[in-house]
Structure 1
Amino acid sequence: MKPFGSSLSWRVAQAALFATPALLLSACMVGPDFSRPAAPASRHYDLQAERALTAPGVPGSAQRIDADRAPTDDWWTVLGSPKLDQLMRQAVAGNLDLDAADATIAQANEAVAAAGGALLPQLDIAAQGGRQRTGHGTTTQYAVGPQVSFDFDLFGDNRRRIEEQTALAELQRHRFDAAYLTVTGDVARQAILLASARAQMGALDELLADDRRNLELVRSAERYGSATQVDVALALNQLAQDQTLLPPLAQQRDTARHALSVLAGKGPADWMPPDFALSDFALPAELPLTLPSELARRRPDILEAEAELHATSAAIGVATADLYPHLQLSASVSRAGPGAGTLWGVAGALTAPLFHGGTLKANRRGAVDAYQASFAVYRQTVIRSLGQVADLLQAINHDNEEYAAQQRALNAAETGLRISQAGFQAGETGLLQVLDAQRAYQRALIGQLRAKTAQYLDTAQLSVALGGHSDGALARRMAHDNE
């Protein structure tokens, strides 16, 4: 300001800038101060399932829970697949939903910075000019100089707006974590479904080969009079029925491949994910399980609902502050001409609402209603999360039972096949019985593969439902990008 030729103008601006902090310290903030909702008091999700999963299980098949243990940073590593680890890094780096969520976080941070500017003096430059005709002739008038203004924020309107924007920025960070968890969960699911489809298709190919050999034997037996056309029709029907199982599995395989390409931010025709086999995965014997109180502090969708609740709480403060007076100080310095010299001015403005037709009070009541709605959404999110974990615990428990039953069926079928083959070699049974035993074994193998798939899927889903240690996912994504 000194170039305008007046030390007085600089002192006026200094007074406007440095007198404000003392007054600001005396201001108060209206509206509620936010406090985090209490965590669930329960220590269990489903007592029956938790007891079943902590009891001694069947060695080599049943899984147990490790209470009060959270998933690791990269939760999918429990599946023990380096191939999945590599694909997961590709998907996290290339996923476009995560790119969008990342940019939204940056936008929310800028909104916080923009709101924070209201706590500082606002400095502008103003200029005006024109020509004026007087009795002495026509003259040119102009004025140029800085203007400064400051809102004292007596009742915390601006500070509550900053609090609201900060909470919304926190919401976006948790929304990124939720998106990260969804993407990694989908990648693991589709990789497992791809591996399962390929394994089942392999077993089904063997089953169809047995069906064809069986049909040829029956047709040969019919030619020699030891079988009837009914036997041939039954063999044909069995082959046709088993052939219907192949297209859905091929569709499951292709859909999983396409989904993995999309998750990695690629078109299905432009990039092909690796082919997974069930042998690429290892089923963990112990599964993490955090307490419900810990779940409420780590699941991103719960934290997102909490941030939304915080934002609506701050909005009550904004609406409340609008009911109270606003004090603003402004000062200006301008160089006017020609010949007018330096002009300066200082003004204070106090405005207080008197009558707005009930608008301001209605706004505050609406803000309170919005808070109540957000609180209900938060509680429902917590309850839904507890229910999801309870469902998965029961699913894993029943997966253990199903796998054990399928394994017994497979063992029995294997024993029957071995006996049939030994009998055929000894001349005691016919080839048709051996083929039937082979078909029974392949069907039992498909059932066992499906049971194993369910175990892998529910294991992955439990880690996701527990929050998958998604906190700080953005930083880990950036770290992977820099590797």
Structure 2
Amino acid sequence: MKSRHLFPTKISALSTLIFLSACTVGPDFKSPAPSTSQHYDQQAEQRLGQGRNKPGEQRIELGKKVGGEWWSAFRSPKLDQVVRRAIDGNLELVAADATIRQAASSVAAAEGALYPQVDFGAQAGRARTHNAKDPSISNFYAIGPRVGFDLDVFGGNKRQVEEQQAFTDLQKHRYEAAYLTLTGDVASQALLVASANAQMRAVEKLLANDTKNLELVRMAHANGSTTQIDVSLAETRLAQDRTLLPPLAQQRDSARHALSVLTGKGPADWIAPDFDLAEFALPSNVPVSLPSEMAHDRPDILQAEAELHIANAAVGVATANLYPHVTLSASLAQAASGNGGAALWGFAAGIAGPIFDGGTLKAERQAAIDGYKATLAGYQQTVITSFGQVADTLQAINHDAEENLAQEDAMRAAETSLRLNQQAYAQGENSILQVLEAERAYEQALLGQIRVKTAQYLDTVRLFVALGGNSVGVFEQRLASRDERKPSYQ
């Protein structure tokens, strides 16, 4: 009859423990609501959203996302090859890959606390008994498994697992951010090589004209039609224009070295190919995702969200620490002493909770809450900053188009001036110095045109990067690709 009363009591106690073990204190994480903003910069969007038929002008498609490998929009096979080489060899990506695997191992380690912990113990010794009637010496040993289990009644261990999982997500988004930065840097450095090469060719042409003009001025001076001042002026211009080449050569060489480093090689071990601006095509239509979608498109925003998730889980851990811990343990051992032996087993339940700690645990929970609030503000700032970056780049592209039109007008005017001055000089209506000035203006306009074109390309790269460059999820894609390439053994 007594056992009948004990059975419901045991069932009730077990049910209570199961119910409590399903309880997880602390706030459940929810992703922040997307931004309600629908624009980055309405003026720039309006101007760039209009149909433009003039060469060198671009149009944005608001509401469309960047897809695929964004750098392929420049239609440069050389660029595609170098970007792929950089993705495969960049050491920062290798380090980020290893960090993700390290974080994943930490998740597995944290998940281990959710399961019973089984240990094996053994003990042996020799003892002498003094207080017996006949003192004796005997051997003893004990061997067997031990099991311990934290019921995690209030979910502290689960929150720690959640925290580690969020940290793994953070590392994945850091990989995506490194990938985005890498591809943007490779495209930018390739364009700087192409721009330097184009400008150097223009400067070399300018120097050839300066040399030719100097010879003409010297001949005119020998004939008495010009003065020594004119000769000195022509010499000065040639000397000044020669100073334009070294900085451009340095820009080209530095960009080449940067490309080598980005691909995981030293500048002496791998030399980047020569790029030419004529090999690139400026994308005429550029997709621009809406601000409300930015939270899903940019790795840095997803990083900030993962950090917010970590802070939220830390609040749960600190909250669980305020409550008791319930543990179960059991052991089974084969023990012997002297000439006798026996099987020993044991089962125990324990509970431990804070009574007085001087306010430490409550202070730790409040610190975790304040840390969450600080992280939330940081997340919001990251989102706002991303909007500012896109807005700046849209305006830059808009002003690049305006400058390009002005530069084309300057180029046409310089070409006309040079042709008229050459005709007038041939007819004896003006001096060689006027021809020199016209040629110089033409070459300067040509250099200006190259610089404006370079700015258009670079700002387009910056826009792709500011929009996230379709980098979210690249780690999983590369992981799947690696798995597909692994040989299968039967």
Fold agreement, TM-score > 0.5: yes
Q: Which residue of 1 aligns with 2:97?
A: 102
Q: Which residue of 1 aligns with 2:451?
A: 450
1:253 aligns with 2:248: no
- State the shift of 1:224 in Å: 2.5
- Matched letter for residue 143 of structure 2: V
Q: Which residue of 2 aligns with 1:439?
A: 440
Q: Is the 8 A contact 1:145 1:334 kept in 2?
A: yes
Q: Which residue of 2 aligns with 1:9?
A: none
Distance 2:209 2:113 in 1: 79
- Matched letter for residue 373 of structure 1: A
1:46 aligns with 2:41: yes
Superposition map of 1:97-136 within 5 A: 97-134=92-129, 135=132, 136=135
Q: Is the 8 A contact 1:257 1:273 kept in 2?
A: yes
Q: Which residue of 1 aligns with 2:177?
A: 178
Aligned length: 465
Distance 2:187 2:256 in 1: 12
Q: Is the 8 A contact 2:20 2:154 kept in 1?
A: no
Q: For residues 347-366 of structure 1, what are the alpha-carbon distances to aligned partners after superposition, in whole Å with 9 as ceiling and x for unaligned?
A: 11101100111111111111
- Matched letter for residue 403 of structure 2: E
Q: Is the 8 A contact 1:93 1:480 kept in 2?
A: no
Q: Which residue of 1 aligns with 2:17?
A: 23
- State the shift of 1:298 in Å: 1.4
1:401 aligns with 2:402: yes
Q: Which residue of 2 aligns with 1:237?
A: 236
Distance 2:326 2:479 in 1: 45
Q: Which residue of 1 aligns with 2:313?
A: 314
Superposition map of 1:45-444 within 5 A: 45-134=40-129, 135=132, 136-338=135-337, 339-423=340-424, 433-444=434-445
Q: For residues 200-235 of structure 1, what are the alpha-carbon distances to aligned partners after superposition, in whole Å with 9 as ceiling and x for unaligned?
A: 000000011111222222222223322222222222
User: What's the secondary structure of 2:34's corresponding residue?
Assistant: coil
State TM-score, norm by structure 2: 0.91
Distance 2:424 2:375 in 1: 72
Q: Is the 8 A contact 2:217 2:432 kept in 1?
A: no
Q: Is the 8 A contact 2:411 2:446 kept in 1?
A: yes
Distance 2:34 2:25 in 1: 27
- Matched letter for residue 168 of structure 2: A
Q: Is the 8 A contact 1:97 1:179 kept in 2?
A: yes
Distance 1:238 1:57 in 2: 40
Distance 2:406 2:375 in 1: 46
- State the shift of 1:56 in Å: 3.5
Name the % identity. Answer: 58
Q: For residues 158-217 of structure 1, what are the alpha-carbon distances to aligned partners after superposition, in whole Å with 9 as ceiling and x for unaligned?
A: 010011111110000001000000000000000000100000000000011111222222
Distance 2:476 2:97 in 1: 11
Distance 1:480 1:426 in 2: 71
- Matched letter for residue 26 of structure 1: L
Q: For residues 224-261 of structure 1, what are the alpha-carbon distances to aligned partners after superposition, in whole Å with 9 as ceiling and x for unaligned?
A: 32222222222222222222221111111010000000
State TM-score, norm by structure 1: 0.92
- State the shift of 1:426 in Å: 5.5
- State the shift of 1:410 in Å: 1.2
User: What's the secondary structure of 2:331's corresponding residue?
Assistant: strand
- Matched letter for residue 393 of structure 2: L
- Matched letter for residue 112 of structure 2: G
User: What's the secondary structure of 1:276's corresponding residue?
Assistant: coil
User: What's the secondary structure of 2:86's corresponding residue?
Assistant: helix
1:461 aligns with 2:462: yes
> In terms of mean alpha carbon deviation, does 37-46 or 49-58 score higher?
49-58
Q: Is the 8 A contact 1:217 1:432 kept in 2?
A: no
> In terms of mean alpha carbon deviation, does 21-30 or 375-384 score higher?
21-30
Q: For residues 370-415 of structure 1, what are the alpha-carbon distances to aligned partners after superposition, in whole Å with 9 as ceiling and x for unaligned?
A: 1111111101111110000000000000000011111111122222
CA gap of 1:382–1:189, structure 2 versus 1, over 3 A, is same
Distance 1:260 1:51 in 2: 36
Large movers: runs of 4+ above 6 Å: 19-22, 479-483
If asked which structure has higher relative contact order (CA below 8 Å, sep 6+), I would say 1
- State the shift of 1:294 in Å: 0.4
User: What's the secondary structure of 2:224's corresponding residue?
Assistant: coil
- Matched letter for residue 308 of structure 1: E
CA RMSD, 1 decimal: 1.9
Distance 1:224 1:280 in 2: 47
Distance 2:18 2:300 in 1: 37
User: What's the secondary structure of 1:266's corresponding residue?
Assistant: coil
- State the shift of 1:477 in Å: 3.6
